[in-house]
Amino acid sequence: MKIAILTSGGDSSGMNVAIKRFVEYSYEKNFTPYFIYDGLEGLIDGKIKKANYKDVRGIICRGGTIIRSSRSKRWFDKEYRKKAYENLKKQSIDALIILGGDGSFRALNVFYKEFKIPFIGIPATIDNDIALNEYSIGVDTALNVIRSAIDDIRDTASSFSRAFVIETMGRECGYLALISAISNGAEMCLIPEMSYNLDRLKEKYLKEIKNGRNYFLAIVAEGVKKTEFIKEWFEREIGFESRITILGHIQRGGAPTTIERLRAVEFMSLALDNIENNPNKIVTFCDDKFILRNLEEIINSKYSLPKKALEIAKPLMGLDG
């Protein structure tokens, strides 16, 4: 069986671990692995090549994706998706494995409906915004990058008696901000999924300042679109000099953590164990278990943030816990 892999959408640390497992485990199972370079764009352009052990040498500790990724405007046009299908047929590819986020799974859904190429999808996005799935490849490493940055910012924030507004990625999803705020002892956490009450936060902060607080760390998800506003709010309402740090694309990089590597290997193992006899599924991770789910079930559902974490973080939003 010839199986091709592609990575799509934002790259995430751990994709390379999954790619290495893909090649090595494919050969173990007597499949022939192929790489599709440059994501959906490369599929349209026929950038497909047989993969070998030597292609995945030394990549386990590297962030990014050695087969690269893309966001494809052309994919929305059926004419290009047909080209993609013809490229797979030309190389006699029997099935596809796609690593990506929500958008990539939507892309896969359209493609499967049209051309019926068997597939398995693996969640890989730092946003962690895939429904019915608690973990996507890249998330633990991104959280560790954020942790390290906040540790460093704390040093300077406390030395200057300043408020730091730290913006995390995640598109419309506040997962990275939520988990980072809790695990790094931030004073404020704003995410797009939740309302917030600045008057109550002000009341609390002014009391804390009287009791000796001399710096603030505010984690604001990019989807809230209020980073600049919160900086000005700290200066105007709290009377603290403020600075903004936009963490940006560093959150997508870095050597995959141990948890990341382990999960990436397990995601891929389950994908290859099912690609032949139980395809057309997404491998998800829930309650510490890997579960196969139908693609349509996932794209027709809405992701949810962990309830316990939301409860804990409510006071950081000025809400009742």
Ligand X SMILES: Nc1ncnc2c1ncn2[C@@H]1O[C@H](COP(=O)(O)OP(=O)(O)OP(=O)(O)O)[C@@H](O)[C@H]1O
Ligand Y SMILES: O=P(O)(O)OC[C@H]1O[C@](O)(CO)[C@@H](O)[C@@H]1O
* Amino acid occupying residue 12: S
* Amino acid occupying residue 57: R
- Selection from 98, 99, 105, 136 nearest residue 290 by Cα: 136
Rounded Cα gap, residues 103 and 254, in angstroms: 23
Q: How far is the CB of 48 from ligand Y (least distance, A)?
A: 24
The phi, psi pair for 267, rounded to 5°, reads -55, -50
Element (H, E) at 145: helix 139-160
User: Which segment (169-177, 178-186, 200-208, 235-243) binds ligand Y by CB under 6 A?
Assistant: 169-177
Q: Does position 170 bind ligand X by CB under 6 A?
A: no
Q: How far is the CB of 118 from ligand X (least distance, A)?
A: 18
User: Which segment (67-75, 112-120, 153-161, 221-229) binds ligand X by CB under 6 A?
Assistant: 67-75
Q: How far is the CB of 169 from ligand Y (least distance, A)?
A: 3
CA quadruple 230, 232, 233, 237: dihedral, nearest 10: 160
Q: How far is the CB of 260 from ligand X (least distance, A)?
A: 15
**Residue 140 designated active-site:** no
From 38, 127, 134, 140, residue interacting with ligand Y (rule: CB under 6 A) = 127
CB proximity list for 201: less than 8 A, separation 6 or greater: 188, 317, 318
The Cβ-side half-sphere exposure at 205, using a 13 Å CA radius, reads: 26
CB 35 within 8 A of CB 5: yes
Per partner kind, with CB cut-offs from 5 to 8 A, the member of ligand X, ligand Y, none near residue 102 is ligand X
Q: Does position 191 bind ligand Y by CB under 6 A?
A: no
How far, in Å, are 33, 263, 274 from residue 270 at the CA level? 16, 11, 6
Joined together, the tokens standing for residue 70 give 């893309």
User: Mask of contacts with ligand Y, 210-239, x by CB under 6 A?
Assistant: ------------x-----------------
User: Which segment (95-103, 162-170, 194-202, 263-271) binds ligand X by CB under 6 A?
Assistant: 95-103
From 7, 10, 261, 318, residue interacting with ligand Y (rule: CB under 6 A) = 10
C-alpha distance across the termini of the chain, in Å: 53
Q: Does position 82 bind ligand X by CB under 6 A?
A: no
CB burial readout 171-206, b (16+ within 10 A) else e: bebbbbbbbbbbebebbbbbbbbbebebeebeebbe
Rounded Cα gap, residues 220 and 211, in angstroms: 25
Q: How far is the CB of 25 from ligand Y (least distance, A)?
A: 27
From 13, 16, 26, 104, residue interacting with ligand X (rule: CB under 6 A) = 104
User: Which segment (60-68, 119-127, 207-215, 228-236) binds ligand Y by CB under 6 A?
Assistant: 119-127
Q: Does position 9 bind ligand X by CB under 6 A?
A: yes
From 7, 16, 65, 72, residue interacting with ligand X (rule: CB under 6 A) = 72
CA quadruple 78, 284, 311, 143: dihedral, nearest 10: -80
CB nearer ligand Y, residue 302 or residue 308: 302
Q: How far is the CB of 166 from ligand X (least distance, A)?
A: 20
Using CB under 6 A, which residues numbered 40 to 99 contact ligand Y?
Answer: none
User: Mask of contacts with ligand X, 112-141, x by CB under 6 A?
Assistant: -------------x-x--------------
Q: List interacting residues with ligand X (CB under 6 A).
A: 8-10, 40, 71-72, 75-76, 100-104, 106-107, 110, 125, 127, 171
Q: Which residues are catalytic?
A: 127
